[in-house]
Amino acid sequence: MTDLLKTSLSRRAVLQTATIGAIGITPALRAVVYAAGSDAPEKTEVKIGFIPLTDCASVVMASVLGIDKKYGVKIIPSKESSWAGVRDKLVMGELDFAHVLYGLIYGVHLGVGGAKKDMAVLMTLSNNGQAITLSRKLADKGAVDGAGLAKLMRAEPRDYTFAQTFPTGTHAMWLYYWMAANGINPMQDAKVITVPPPQMVANMRVGNMDGFSVGEPWNHRAIIDGIGVTAATSQEIWKDHPEKVLGATGDFVKKYPNTARAVTAAILEAGQWIDASLQNKTKMTEVIAAKSYVNTSVDAINQRILGRYQNGMGKTWDDPNYMKFYNDGAVNFPYLSDGMWFLTQHKRWGLLKDHPDYLAVAKQINQIDLYKQAATASKTPIPKDVMRTSKLIDGVVWDGKDPKKYADGFKIKA
């Protein structure tokens, strides 16, 4: 790993030169780089917290490749140990931004899962690429998917324990939605605990849980280590679902709007670079596998980032809906309906006692205008609508039009 780190970081200058040369400094970019007066970033150095997960890649690569400098800022990636730690450091101002769970930002804004604080989502960092892992012990008894798990839990009743990464976060919502779609009430039929992503595999190894919902590379790591199997991918639950976001406090964005715009543009361009080629994905994998970032082997990351999946039981497949960071800009727009969906699930599972004003909250948090400015600077396509429509694993369609009816319409809920 030490040699890999040296090799990866020694390529930094080469990668910077190659990337800037390939993408080029357009007039729009030059206007940002050499902006003067009110357009200049108010802060030229920013600290961005991240958790060791594959989907931190666009934040890391914006820094490693020097793309940030083109926009007049310097990104300092800060490795954090838990989502609770990220939340606290964001709220206290120790971090300027964070690679963070979508639902965490919404929860803090409403005072759920932490002290209430106005929060902001600047962009979506990634789509897809999470999974639900079940232990080998369960798999050996036939629990290799949702239906198998439900059957086993009925046949052999006991206390079943499952882990997610933060109470209001994406992984909790994927776990709950998947279980409920298979007839399991996560609030009544199981015990659910919170475990930081890098600790999932170690906890399963010693028998602390029967299954977990987490981001990569920790699901594939469980397969490599022979202790878990992939029961479902998150893209099976919701194709092209929103995952991590670039988050900040509302106060920070109000005080430093130009900085927020510049950082968003830089990370947009880094996502574009990652998704541009197989070669770029390979280089990205080598960089983020290093100890200072994800701290795992390259083979734990590189297969699923290319859509090459295995479930740990002999099944392999090519998944077209693997983790994406740009996808011609389709990944990154902070759709209001995406944020609203997390609120509907918070209400469904009793994290919110009453229905919030779903649309108003999403408009407060998702910084659509700032995003559009950053997208223009980075030549990122912008969708026509701030809402989108999706069909989830249970066949239920979400379009954001009637969130109260949607939230109350599930048979299985808290």
Q: Where are the domains of the chain?
A: 2-126+243-295+357-383
Residue 120: per-residue pLDDT:
98
Per-residue CA distances from 149 to 107, 135, 159, 162 (Å):
29, 11, 13, 12
Residue 113: per-residue pLDDT:
77
Fold of the CATH domain 2-126+243-295+357-383: D-Maltodextrin-Binding Protein; domain 2 (3.40.190)
Q: What is the mean pLDDT of the chain?
A: 93
- Measured CA to CA, the distance from residue 377 to residue 71 in angstroms comes to 9
The model's pLDDT over 335-372, given as tens digits with 9 standing for 90+, comes to 999 999 999 999 999 999 999 999 999 999 999 999 99
Confidence of residue 37 (pLDDT cuts 50, 70, 90): low
Are residues 258 and 42 in contact, defined by beta-carbon separation less than 8 angstroms?
A: yes
Residue 4: per-residue pLDDT:
38
- Burial (Cβ within 10 Å: 0-12, 13-18, ≥19) of residue 411: exposed
Position 9 pLDDT exceeds 70: no
Question: One-letter amino acid identity for 216?
Answer: E
Are residues 95 and 75 in contact, defined by beta-carbon separation less than 8 angstroms?
A: no
3-class state of residue 365 by DSSP: helix
Among the listed residues 196, 188, 189, the one whose alpha carbon sits nearest the alpha carbon of residue 212 = 196
Are residues 313 and 139 in contact, defined by beta-carbon separation less than 8 angstroms?
A: yes
